[in-house]
């Protein structure tokens, strides 16, 4: 059984005619996008707004019409994956490097739906290293400021070169396992000059779609 497909496809049921839909990035929301492409072929009328170049290419391939922020008033629903989800439905995101555009789009959406297989569900955030996006200028200095928060930034590499986001920035993956207050950390990180955004999504998710022990799809709502 493909768990990602089960939760990813379920999210497509929330999308109705006329909606503007934020399209997330990753291997779980991939199945949402494929399903939405099928539904568009069957007559569903939506407009998508992608969170990454990869997602833009996928959405075009499956025939989802795309819009830009210039053309829309609001986003009705954003759907995205996560690297970790805690019991408050707070998230770590950005394993795939798309955290900045993902946060802009989730923040602009009336409803933010997260698709997460059971292995993503945790008691406490921090088992997954927190991605922090920084501008290349002065990145060495920015790294020192991040370290002063008591976390250890690891410079993300790809095939032996510095990893670059779709925005041309670098990423530091940070061990935050000792951090008790994710909201405070989110704010402190974003106050460092040079930090563009970090992958803590606090108080943003409305619904998480996951699976129970018997592999039934479950909807977890914000309490
Ligand atoms: C990309 C993300 C993804 O949503 C996250 O990494 C989960 O991806 P996947 O569904 O492939 O596990 O934040 O920046």
CATH number at residue 65: 3.40.50.1360
Task: Assess whether 174 and 108 both reside in one domain.
Answer: no
Does residue 219 sit within a domain?
no
Question: Each residue's pLDDT tens digit in the chain (223 positions)?
Answer: 799 999 999 999 999 999 999 999 999 999 999 999 999 999 999 999 999 999 999 999 999 999 999 999 899 999 999 999 999 999 999 999 999 999 999 999 999 999 999 999 999 999 999 999 999 999 999 999 999 999 999 999 999 999 999 999 999 999 998 677 999 999 999 999 999 999 999 999 999 999 999 999 999 998 7
Indicate whether residue 182 lines ligand 1 (CB < 6 A).
Answer: no
Is 80 near ligand 1, meaning CB less than 6 Å away?
yes
Give residue 43's pLDDT: 98
Task: State the DSSP string of 24-93.
Answer: --STTHHHHHHHHHHHHHTT---EEEESSHHHHHHHHHHT--B--GGG-S-EEEEEE--SEE-TT--EE-
63 and 89: one domain? yes
Q: In the annotation, is 102 catalytic?
A: yes
Query: Is 218 inside a domain boundary?
Result: no
Report the domain count for the chain.
Answer: 2
pTM higher than 0.85 for the full model?
yes
Distance 102 CA to ligand 1 centre (A): 10
Residue 42 belongs to what domain range?
A: 3-120+202-211
Q: Is the CB of 126 under 6 A from ligand 1?
A: no
């Amino acid at each position: 059984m493909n768990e990602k497909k089960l939760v990813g496809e379920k999210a497509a049921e929330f999308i109705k005619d006329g909606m503007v839909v934020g399209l997330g990035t990753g291997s779980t929301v991939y199945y949402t996008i494929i399903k939405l492409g099928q539904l568009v072929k069957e007559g569903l009328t939506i407009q998508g707004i992608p969170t990454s170049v990869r997602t833009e290419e996928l959405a075009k391939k499956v025939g989802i019409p795309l819009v830009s922020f210039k053309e829309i008033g609001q986003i009705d629903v954003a759907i995205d994956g996560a690297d970790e989800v805690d019991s408050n439905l707070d998230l770590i995101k950005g394993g795939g490097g798309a955290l900045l555009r993902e946060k802009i789009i989730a923040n602009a959406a009336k409803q933010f739906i997260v698709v997460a297989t059971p292995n993503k569900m945790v008691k406490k955030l921090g088992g997954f290293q927190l991605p922090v996006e920084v501008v290349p200028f002065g990145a060495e200095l920015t790294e020192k400021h991040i370290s002063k928060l008591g976390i250890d930034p690891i410079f993300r590499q790809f095939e032996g070169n510095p990893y670059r986001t779709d925005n041309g920035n670098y990423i530091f993956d940070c061990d935050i396992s000792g951090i008790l207050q994710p909201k405070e950390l989110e704010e402190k990180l974003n106050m460092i000059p040079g930090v563009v955004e970090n992958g803590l999504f606090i108080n943003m998710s409305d619904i998480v779609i996951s699976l129970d022990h018997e592999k039934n799809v479950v909807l977890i709502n914000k309490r």
